[in-house]
């Protein structure tokens, strides 16, 4: 029998530029949901943190695909949001004082698990199809008789650059 560790896939985001308490609002909605319904929920939410969490779930699904897990039976087991680093800035206040402004960041950790008792989803996640560029060759170029013809474009004259501050400053006469 396979271990529980074999049926788990993880992913994480470090230093997400959204405050942890705002990310936790979305994270609490997603915990315990099947992956397919969690992604559908995140696409419908207007919160700013729903986009990065959706990307995080897609990353964990890709990790699960590499471990050969059944993608239809994946459940968001754990989604934790921790405090990241805090960037401190100064903001001018009245009477010459300065106020402290803190830009908080967060770390997000996700584990998804294959659940044996979960039935298959009502809908399936669409997979992105990689586009392959095809080489287009002319018949004459394929035979090797003639080289492919290229369009000639007329070059427009470039506008002259204006002097700018440095040029004006050093043209001045000294007193």
Looking at the structure of the chain, the number of domains it has is: 1
Q: Does residue 134 lie within any of the structural domains?
A: no
| Euclidean distance between CA atoms 83 and 65, whole angstroms | 29
Beta strands in 4-157 (DSSP E): 8-16, 74-92, 98-114
Q: How far is CA 25 from CA 31, 35, 42, 53, 137, in A?
A: 11, 18, 12, 11, 55
Helices 50-66 & 35-44 angle (0-180, nearest 10): 160
| Euclidean distance between CA atoms 100 and 97, whole angstroms | 10
Q: Which residue, 84, 87, 64, 102, is CA-closest to 23?
A: 84
pLDDT at position 129 is 73
Contact of 74 with 112, CB cutoff 8 Å: yes
CATH assignment of the domain containing 110: 3.90.470.10
The encoded tokens of residue 134 equal 């095809």
pLDDT at position 94 is 96
Q: Does residue 68 lie within any of the structural domains?
A: yes
Q: Does residue 43 lie within any of the structural domains?
A: yes
Q: Does residue 126 lie within any of the structural domains?
A: no
Domain containing residue 42: 15-91+100-114
Q: How many residues are present in the chain?
A: 175
pLDDT at position 1 is 47
Q: Does residue 51 lie within any of the structural domains?
A: yes
Per residue of the chain (175 residues), what is the pLDDT tens digit?
Answer: 456 667 999 999 999 999 999 999 999 999 999 999 999 999 999 999 999 999 999 999 999 999 999 888 999 999 999 999 999 999 999 999 999 999 999 999 999 999 988 876 677 766 667 676 555 555 545 555 555 555 566 666 666 666 666 666 666 565 5
Q: Does residue 66 lie within any of the structural domains?
A: yes
Contact of 116 with 73, CB cutoff 8 Å: yes
Q: Does residue 158 lie within any of the structural domains?
A: no
pTM of the model: 0.68
| Euclidean distance between CA atoms 167 and 123, whole angstroms | 65
């Amino acid at each position: 029998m396979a271990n529980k560790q074999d049926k788990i896939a993880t992913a994480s985001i470090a230093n997400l530029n959204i405050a942890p308490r705002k990310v936790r609002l979305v994270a609490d909605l997603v915990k315990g949901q099947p992956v397919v319904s969690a992604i559908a929920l995140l696409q419908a939410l207007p919160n700013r943190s729903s986009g990065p969490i959706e990307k995080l779930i897609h990353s964990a699904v890709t990790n699960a695909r590499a471990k050969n897990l059944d993608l239809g039976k994946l459940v968001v087991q754990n989604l934790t949001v921790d405090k990241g680093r805090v960037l401190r800035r100064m903001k001018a206040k009245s009477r010459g004082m300065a106020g402290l402004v803190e830009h908080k960041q967060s770390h997000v950790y996700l584990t998804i698990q294959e659940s044996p008792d979960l039935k298959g989803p009502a809908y399936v996640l669409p997979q992105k199809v990689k586009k392959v560029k095809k080489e287009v060759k002319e018949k004459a170029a394929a035979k090797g008789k003639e080289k492919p013809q290229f369009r000639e474009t007329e070059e427009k004259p470039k506008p002259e650059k204006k002097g700018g501050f440095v040029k004006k400053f050093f043209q001045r006469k000294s007193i």
